[in-house]
Amino acid sequence: MQLPSEDFHLKIYLGNKQKGCVTNMNEFVNMLRESENIVFFGGAGVSTESGIPDFRSEQGIYNTRRQFGVSPEEILSHTYFLRHTDKFFDFYKSTMVYTSAKPNKAHEALAKLEAMGKLKAIVTQNIDGLHQAAGSKTVYELHGTIHKNYCMKCGKYYDLDYVMKAPGVPRCQQCGGIVKPDVVLYEESLDEETIEKSISAIAKADMLIVGGTSLNVYPAAGFVRYYRGGRLVLINKSDTPYDGYADLLIHDSIGKILSEAVENL
């Protein structure tokens, strides 16, 4: 699928009114009040407040988990999964799955916004299922989910509990095949139907909130280019390549900002 060119939705800088400036909470709340078709696009930063580490920050998985002798990026590749399945599951179970994690203020605020009829969809790069645990209904999981697992031989599905309790590599009770988590590894393609639904929701939105993502991972980061409205809000503690395109830019805790905003609607 062809993404729009880099000059999409070009913003013009006008002194203190320039796009990408940090603005107050009142402006964010007013945007929410005026919008009826909101889409939220989130990344790993949405779940860090639930105790799940992100990937690329200083304390992230990619910078702290080197005890397996190879980089986490290599371990999380399709090739490594096939060649070193036992080591993959050692890493996966100890590093990628947090069974005790609970939804935080960000997940709960988004669920409330959906219940109000304002939020129409969540597009997430996370695999933890915390949006659904908080009560959100329309969630497009670009990278799959830890809660669905399938036998590579016969297709039988298993839940997360089955995978975590299996000694070593989880095997199918029906045919003995390897049970693979339904998550997208490096070298694998995103699900086409999920892509289409995500892009469609973003393109139709009258407000797009992007939170907890560096917007450096493609193709997912490129989905933001499909938004054509005038209420693009970026909430992230660090800078992103899209900051200059934002109508509202907030460098703060996503849980704090979303919960406070929704409470004041």
Across residues 202-225, what is the average pLDDT?
A: 91
Domain residue ranges of the chain, discontinuous segments joined by + = 1-52+103-143+190-265
Q: Choose the weakest-confidence range: 5-14, 190-199, 250-259.
A: 5-14
The backbone torsions φ and ψ at residue 55, rounded to the nearest 5 degrees and listed phi first, read: -105, -45
**What is the spatial distance between Cα 234 and Cα 123, in angstroms, rounded to a whole number?**
14
At 32-91, the pLDDT tens digits run 999 999 999 999 999 999 999 876 655 556 665 555 678 888 999 999 999 999 999 999
Residue 10 has pLDDT above 50, yes or no: no
Across residues 92-113, what is the average pLDDT?
A: 96
In order of 52, 68, 89, 128, 247, the CA distances from 95 in angstroms are: 9, 11, 10, 12, 36
**What is the spatial distance between Cα 159 and Cα 161, in angstroms, rounded to a whole number?**
6
CATH of domain 1-52+103-143+190-265: 3.40.50.1220
Residue 101 has pLDDT above 90, yes or no: yes
- Take residue 154 and report the two structure tokens written for it: 């016969």
Residue 21 has pLDDT above 60, yes or no: no
- Take residue 43 and report the two structure tokens written for it: 């990344």
In sequence order, the 6+-apart residues with CB closer than 8 A to the CB of 215 are 43, 221, 224, 240, 241, 242
The backbone torsions φ and ψ at residue 41, rounded to the nearest 5 degrees and listed phi first, read: -120, 115
The backbone torsions φ and ψ at residue 146, rounded to the nearest 5 degrees and listed phi first, read: -70, -15
Our measurement of the distance from residue 149's CA atom to the centroid of its chain's CA atoms, rounded to an integer in Å, reads: 19
Q: Is residue 39 within 8 Å of residue 224, measured between CB atoms?
A: no
DSSP element (H, E) containing 157: strand 157-158
- pLDDT value of position 34: 97
Residue 20 has pLDDT above 90, yes or no: no
- pLDDT value of position 56: 63
Across residues 156-171, what is the average pLDDT?
A: 97
Residue ranges in the chain assigned as alpha helix (H): 25-34, 61-64, 72-75, 78-83, 85-91, 105-115, 130-134, 160-165, 192-204, 254-263
- pLDDT value of position 22: 45
Q: Is residue 206 within 8 Å of residue 231, measured between CB atoms?
A: yes
More confident residue, 115 or 243: 115
More confident residue, 122 or 14: 122
* Cα within 13 Å of Cα(258), Cβ side: 27
More confident residue, 66 or 142: 142
Q: Residue with structure tokens 């406070």? A: 260
- Position 219 confidence tier, pLDDT thresholds 50, 70, 90: confident
- Position 214 confidence tier, pLDDT thresholds 50, 70, 90: confident
DSSP element (H, E) containing 120: strand 119-124
- Position 12 confidence tier, pLDDT thresholds 50, 70, 90: very low
Catalytic residue numbers read: 143
Residue 237 has pLDDT above 70, yes or no: yes
Rounded to the nearest integer, the mean pLDDT of the chain is 88
Q: Is 123 helix (H, G, I), strand (E, B) or coil?
A: strand
